[in-house]
Structure 1
């Protein structure tokens, strides 16, 4: 009896298991194409769809055909067009299925784009003519142009931001678009509920156990009784962080008098006043790089910093002590003093230096900065080849050279975002002079002009360019510029394809002499690959001139190649392969050079 019951259960279980049906095999998409698209590029329409397109690679698996998903994709294509003002768009598809394969044709009837005819701002409460006039300046839509959702939404965000920065932190902006299907026009209307006009109330500082309140309040871009501004809160937060004294900065806001008054608590968490930074890296030219820095913040109970730094690499060793005073004379200025010893490999010799510098730096405008400094150096070139000593006269090996004079630099820098692609430019002019009038044993005038620019190009790429010109001329009783002050070129940060400081005039024995004039230029096309990786195609040019500037394309040195960049949590990783060449001479690929860098350059 029990045995019969067991057999019966087994039969029931197996009967419940569904058997495969040949007719239920999935249909695969063999071909899918989009027709009638002219307002967009085909990839934009494809990216709006969830249905996958078949790969052109024959052996790659075809995607499944899901007709319900494809019907919804027609709506997604329609929404894409409507976001650009094509409100009468129609998207449909036809599919034929043969032997388990689907052949799909998507047809888009775009229609005509709608034109923005009227723009209006309406107030939920009392009208404010002055506010309305200023708000219209924030709208990026213009009448007579094709309507698009992106500038419509961006205008809405700008309206709210303007209100929040001018006393209306509660302001909310809604909007609607009225489309005339017959005339193909669109009316844009924004509705503003601005709320009460708000002012800053009492400002309380909290969390500062060591740092005096008198150093915190001047960083605040708002004051008691001023109109509330969200932008000024952000500006104040950045200013406090820039002091380096705080780990966190928070603004706690409350409301009084029905929201018309906003008291603000500035709550800070102080950072450690003694900080140690360490770093390491590697480069083909400088080999192992090591860096250690000790900072004493809030030195002598003020906005002062004492710094001790030590750096080492295969081409340089440096140790220095620096003192920095913020807000020297005015809030735009910083005063610093540095004393250091340095040993650096330059071409075929080594220069040993003791240097002191006093500098004042000023941020004249957000995009313009300048510094001026007094410099005092004692230099001793060692290991200079006898032939170089003879050629340059002044560069006696083992001789001490005293430099005393002034240096100044002006830098103009801009940076901006264009569709999430960074662009900008930097121009700098550096001037340096040493004179017997200041007790120097070496008289010269030196100048370096450098410009860099980077702009978005095509397909998400960025085009970067740079040019650098330098000169140094002896003056008074100095007959020749010593080798340690002369220009050299070549290497991973100069002209790739050549060794470190390999470019420059040479004597009859092949020893590098350096030059009084320098010219470098470069062009680089940067292509994003995936995640944090990128590819770079580049060409560099440069030359060094012994005693006078005599540029010629035929005599300049060139290098071209390809590089890979990858940003890691520990620092950038890069590798370049470059081939040197000369004007009018075919490339010799066997002369390639490889440059590898890991970590930051200190």
Structure 2
């Protein structure tokens, strides 16, 4: 058995011209020539960049900084346009040298054999062939820090804390970042008007050393003052102010302001959010604030399609509203149908339809009310289930990283599985704690994420009381200055108490593993205990683990070798006698909204007649 899964979202962005393929505005292959037709008096050039630098990082930085190199396929406007681009390139290359502490470097550029400083104001070149441009970079020595002086409210600081210790590389960015860090530290002390008053850098070309002077003025400690809102139309200003959690009288904190902006953007109602601080303090010594917003589209919809050699075609669609009553209340209606072309009867299709309502800032600014009802029919190899679930829950943000969620739900379910045909009515009260300490939610390079969940349940038809306990933790560790390699791991486990007879537990509440969310290379929910008739029963406990090495080949392309392992047992304690493992390699393509993921995996100890391999696609890392 083989499995291939592909998902495509229909969008106007997919309608590309005949020469290029674009998705979400990104040109994946081919080139678009329309820009050349829009350049008046187009002149083409060919460029050669040479450098005596032995440092590969410096060579890469120079190539990345050169607009002549990066834009070499695009014409410029007129003969003077070549010269203007060359002069701009010299400034950019000198700046790149300074960033690498090469203050004695020399950049020489010639156009058509003549130095750009010797060209007339209105040069003319032979256009019968691309104009030759030669860029030569003499990198010069690395300059080191000799002495650092801190003044004003920055006095008595340790230069090593700012990467400016004696003998350290004196790159210009390091010096700029040191000044910014000093101001940031002063502001974190509650001083909103802190500023850098002196940044002086003197390079000694005889000794290849640099002396640095940095001075700052902290200004007074001031609390938050009045908070105003501008740009709001359909969203109530009082909701925006309340949900931002920036309150008059609170201690000024740049981190709190950053979190407020992120919180408002996460609502999805605004196309932009800017928090503007007053240039001076109010008469009472407080700092006035303005929250400036620009509202985006409140209604949205989408359709999608997917294909699997196991499950056939699938279609899905959704419609939503981001601001029902002026307080960013969300409503989302969605539906899907699967196994088209694979199912032999209408009852074998996978259906789902649901509606979800969310109210952020319910009761308190950090709380969110969530109500939903979902009806679905699903038919994996292990079982067929038809169910309807209604849920009412509340999510509360304890702090910036921790969230607690509680809900009450009722679910009716009819199963056809290894235990025959059974009907269940289950009342449950799931409680969940999440801690998210990752540096980036879509592409983390450091930190961790942990989840703990308990779901007390009562199945009314059989009078069964049971509880599910689940937990997971994932961690990330970047290697190298730019995290070119990231080690990522995840461990998940769970068990059911009160599941002495699995036949009394609905199939969708038993444990299975396999597929893109757990052990790649196996079919969806293929990993399970099996009865004497070789029918999957689901289990009372499970454990899965995944390990990935995420390697950046370029700034946009990465490869990810990985291995997943998992076990599902009929008993409360996992039985590790039948561990299943899958291994494979993935491809990542970086985009502004997270990496596009494509994984290929094979089972290392496949089931007899089971899946041979799996291909998985999505947006964001696998965990």
TM-score range, shorter chain: 0.5 to 0.7
Q: Is the 8 A contact 1:167 1:227 kept in 2?
A: no
Instruction: Give the drift of 1:159.
Output: 2.6
Equivalent position of 1:541 in the other structure: 565
Look up the SS of the partner of 1:416 in the other structure: coil
Equivalent position of 1:467 in the other structure: 491
Deviations 1:271-330 (A, max 9, x none): 455x2331414253664341313226243x545434333234337432223332333332
| Of 127, 139, 150, the match for 1:120 | 150
Q: Is the 8 A contact 2:367 2:394 kept in 1?
A: yes
Equivalent position of 2:391 in the other structure: 357
TM-score by length of 2: 0.65
Matched, 1:291 2:313: no
Q: Distance in 2 between matches of 1:257 and 1:429?
A: 45
Q: Is the 8 A contact 2:464 2:504 kept in 1?
A: no
Structure 1: gaps (5+ residues): 1-27, 52-75, 91-105, 123-130, 390-395
Q: Is the 8 A contact 2:588 2:595 kept in 1?
A: yes
Equivalent position of 2:57 in the other structure: 44
Seen in structure 2, the aligned counterparts of structure 1 residues 581 and 463 have a Cα distance that, compared at 3 Å, is: same
Between Structure 1 and Structure 2, how many residues are aligned?
503
Equivalent position of 1:372 in the other structure: 406
Look up the SS of the partner of 1:495 in the other structure: coil
Seen in structure 2, the aligned counterparts of structure 1 residues 160 and 316 have a Cα distance that, compared at 3 Å, is: farther
Q: Distance in 1 between matches of 2:328 and 2:611?
A: 53
Instruction: Give the drift of 1:534.
Output: 2.6
Seen in structure 2, the aligned counterparts of structure 1 residues 574 and 141 have a Cα distance that, compared at 3 Å, is: closer
Structure 2: gaps (5+ residues): 1-47, 65-91, 107-136, 340-348
Whose relative contact order is higher, 1 or 2, with alpha carbons under 8 Å and at least 6 apart? 2
Q: Distance in 1 between matches of 2:220 and 2:166?
A: 35
Equivalent position of 2:533 in the other structure: 509
Instruction: Give the drift of 1:592.
Output: 4.4
Q: Is the 8 A contact 1:565 1:572 kept in 2?
A: yes
Seen in structure 2, the aligned counterparts of structure 1 residues 155 and 329 have a Cα distance that, compared at 3 Å, is: same
Instruction: Give the drift of 1:410.
Output: 1.2
Query: Mean Cα displacement is larger for which, 487-496 or 312-321?
Result: 312-321
Seen in structure 2, the aligned counterparts of structure 1 residues 514 and 421 have a Cα distance that, compared at 3 Å, is: closer
| Of 447, 470, 473, the match for 1:451 | 473
Rg (Cα) greater in structure? 1
Q: Distance in 2 between matches of 1:558 and 1:542?
A: 6
Q: Distance in 2 between matches of 1:153 and 1:571?
A: 29
Q: Is the 8 A contact 2:556 2:589 kept in 1?
A: yes
Seen in structure 2, the aligned counterparts of structure 1 residues 256 and 434 have a Cα distance that, compared at 3 Å, is: closer
Q: Distance in 2 between matches of 1:375 and 1:87?
A: 67
Matched, 1:562 2:585: yes
Q: Distance in 2 between matches of 1:582 and 1:258?
A: 70
Equivalent position of 2:415 in the other structure: 381
Q: Distance in 2 between matches of 1:251 and 1:450?
A: 36
Equivalent position of 1:307 in the other structure: 332
Equivalent position of 2:361 in the other structure: 327
Q: Distance in 2 between matches of 1:573 and 1:180?
A: 48
Seen in structure 2, the aligned counterparts of structure 1 residues 406 and 262 have a Cα distance that, compared at 3 Å, is: closer
Look up the SS of the partner of 2:179 in the other structure: helix
Q: Distance in 2 between matches of 1:509 and 1:501?
A: 18
Instruction: Give the drift of 1:176.
Output: 2.9
Equivalent position of 2:17 in the other structure: none
Q: Distance in 1 between matches of 2:468 and 2:170?
A: 54
Query: Mean Cα displacement is larger for which, 590-599 or 344-353?
Result: 590-599
Q: Distance in 2 between matches of 1:580 and 1:560?
A: 7
Q: Is the 8 A contact 1:474 1:480 kept in 2?
A: no
Look up the SS of the partner of 1:217 in the other structure: helix
TM-score by length of 1: 0.68
Q: Distance in 2 between matches of 1:411 and 1:253?
A: 33
Q: Distance in 1 between matches of 2:261 and 2:593?
A: 27
Equivalent position of 2:4 in the other structure: none
Q: Distance in 1 between matches of 2:227 and 2:272?
A: 18
| Of 345, 363, 374, the match for 1:340 | 374
Seen in structure 2, the aligned counterparts of structure 1 residues 160 and 272 have a Cα distance that, compared at 3 Å, is: same
| Of 427, 445, 454, the match for 1:422 | 445
Q: Is the 8 A contact 1:135 1:159 kept in 2?
A: no
Look up the SS of the partner of 1:328 in the other structure: coil
Look up the SS of the partner of 2:515 in the other structure: coil
Equivalent position of 1:66 in the other structure: none
Seen in structure 2, the aligned counterparts of structure 1 residues 189 and 214 have a Cα distance that, compared at 3 Å, is: same
Look up the SS of the partner of 1:490 in the other structure: coil
The equivalences for 1:223-302 within 5 A come to 234-250=258-274, 266-273=291-298, 275-284=299-308, 287-295=313-321, 297-299=323-325, 302=327
Instruction: Give the drift of 1:250.
Output: 5.0
Q: Distance in 2 between matches of 1:115 and 1:576?
A: 47
Q: Distance in 2 between matches of 1:485 and 1:470?
A: 11
Instruction: Give the drift of 1:79.
Output: 9.6
Q: Distance in 2 between matches of 1:479 and 1:413?
A: 36
Instruction: Give the drift of 1:428.
Output: 1.0
Instruction: Give the drift of 1:570.
Output: 10
RMSD of aligned alpha carbons = 4.9
